[in-house]
A and B are shown apart, each in its own frame.
Chain A
Amino acid sequence: MTKITASVKVPGPASATVPAGETASRGADSLSAKMHMDNLSVYYGGFRAVAEVTLPVYDRRITAIIGPSGCGKSTLLRSLNRMNELVPSARVEGHITLDGDDIYASNIDPVLVRRRVGMVFQKPNPFPKTIHENIAYGIKLYNGRMPRSELDDRVVSSLKRAALWDEVKDKLKQSAYALSGGQQQRLCIARTIAAEPEVVLMDEPCSALDPVATLKIEELMQELKQDYTIVIVTHNMQQAARVSDYTAMMMMRPDRAGEMIEFDDTQVIFTKPKDKRTEDYVSGRFG
């Protein structure tokens, strides 16, 4: 498998915009951008869905992407692990780096990018297999064959990290479909982190869940950010305000291309946003 190497160097952490609030609250020195989008545009055929986005994704922080429907949030998210390439007409301009290396460089294997940058989807999508097999699948996919005991250990550890172990430890051989929606979503998170990614992308991970299951996922995200960098797309602004460290606000231009209009500490976005459009959106005046 090709190792990710930098073919095109683009401005990385050093030039990443550090929001004003961060300098005061956490110290800019401790921040580094795990990923960085630089002048990123995403096209579907002739239609530009995302236009000229420059955005840092800080290491072991939660970055929320908010904005009205159709503004390109999910497209932006999918471009972070080259998932958008599965749409035949999709095309990317600009750069996205992971630890400084361009993930769209010609010598980069997209499968390896997706291993390092995992994804959790809107609807829980477990495989029609047992709970154990769901997790083991992700591990075997990237690691090939391994001794059964090691595999089992990693299944247990992934389930524990996804805060699901206590609920499923006695039914690992049962179908994943027997779990509740919230448990299925945590199973999918466990499956994602079993592949040991560095970044976890979450596309509205709680939109199909009830409030209790939602809170469990949110608590889990706080745990996970100790080890992983998380990017979440959410329509639920209270969720963005509760869980994220940074928030990027996206809007649609008149030509329907999504642009990023404001990026800052989440606290700033939800208490004193600079852009009137962000103000209107977070206070429900939009539209």
Chain B
Amino acid sequence: MAIISTRSALDHELQTIRDNVLRLGSLVEEQTERAVRALKDRNIDLARQVVTVDERVNELRYKIEEECLTTIARHQPAAADLRLIVASMHMAVELERMADHAAGIGSVVIRMGHEPLLKPLIDIPRMQVTCCEMLHQAMEAYVKGDVALARAVVKRDEEVDQLYNQVLRELITYMIGDPRTTTRATYLLWVAHNLERTADRVTNLCERIQFAVTGQLGDLAPEEDEN
């Protein structure tokens, strides 16, 4: 029957979109991890790679958008199918911007050259680990359609915010104590800011997951968690 084969074609296209969003998610996770590793190891080559790979991220984002548009045009999906497609398009844009934050960290590392670090890195690697875990879980929530997990991920944004404020306070103390540290402090501040924005964007992903599953648009506030 025609409707069956059309439905299975739509299912196949939806699966391709899901797979590609997942691929984009892992790529962004990898880019964020490599960018902070380049900073820790002062590895300029690795930082350059992060900046170069960003092109691949952009290509994948546009590929996903094209797939979504084609599926809408071919199948005129409705309800949950339509929501999944629209959510995936938004998520592809968010993920691409998150990769820009990783590339931004890569650029800072390149700009820093071999200048010694102002202070040992403690909180920034923690921020990166939390961001990557959040992203990983958000992708899991996307694939499983798990709103409770998406909510739990949103909650973790506070951890990253606290670490960021800690880094900020510490670096300001350095700059006040010795204004000659301003440039080196700004480099780190820039890195921390990119990570803080990455975590914010993970919460945006979670809102889109909520929309895909329930149709509800808007904030996915942690206090809504009733578990």
Q: How far is the CA of A284 from the CA of B76 in the complex (A)?
A: 10
A273 touches B3 (CB 8 A): no
Contacts of B215 in A (CB 8 A): 271-272
Residue of B whose beta carbon sits closest to that of A287 = B3
Residue of B whose beta carbon sits closest to that of A278 = B79
Contacts of B77 in A (CB 8 A): 283
Q: Is A105 an interface residue (CB 8 A)?
A: no
B6 touches A284 (CB 8 A): yes
Residue of A whose beta carbon sits closest to that of B81 = A283
Q: Is A285 an interface residue (CB 8 A)?
A: yes
Contacts of A43 in B (CB 8 A): none
A282 touches B3 (CB 8 A): no
Q: Is B7 an interface residue (CB 8 A)?
A: yes
Contacts of A270 in B (CB 8 A): 78-79, 82
B78 touches A237 (CB 8 A): yes
- Overall SS of chain B's interface: helix
Q: A271-B78, A271-B215 are in contact. Are A285 and B7 (CB under 8 A)?
A: yes
Contacts of B10 in A (CB 8 A): 284
A120 to chain B, nearest CB (A): 25
B222 to chain A, nearest CB (A): 23
Q: A271-B83, A271-B215, A272-B215 are in contact. Are A241 and B7 (CB under 8 A)?
A: no
| B interface footprint on A250-287 (CB within 8 Å = 1, 0 otherwise) | 00000000000000000000111100001100111101
Residue of B whose beta carbon sits closest to that of A274 = B215
Q: Is A238 an interface residue (CB 8 A)?
A: yes
B78 touches A241 (CB 8 A): yes
| A interface footprint on B71-105 (CB within 8 Å = 1, 0 otherwise) | 00000111111110000000000000000000000
Residue of A whose beta carbon sits closest to that of B1 = A287
| A interface footprint on B193-227 (CB within 8 Å = 1, 0 otherwise) | 00000000000000000000011000000000000
Point out residues on A near B: beta carbons under 8 Å. 237-238, 241, 270-273, 278-279, 282-285, 287
The 5 A-B pairs at the shortest CB distance, nearest first, are namely: A272-B215, A282-B78, A270-B78, A284-B7, A279-B79
17 more contacts with CB within 8 A, not counting A279-B80, A283-B79, A287-B3, are A237-B78, A241-B76, A270-B79, A270-B82, A271-B78, A271-B79, A271-B83, A272-B79, A272-B83, A272-B214, A273-B79, A282-B79, A283-B78, A283-B80, A284-B3, A284-B7, A284-B10
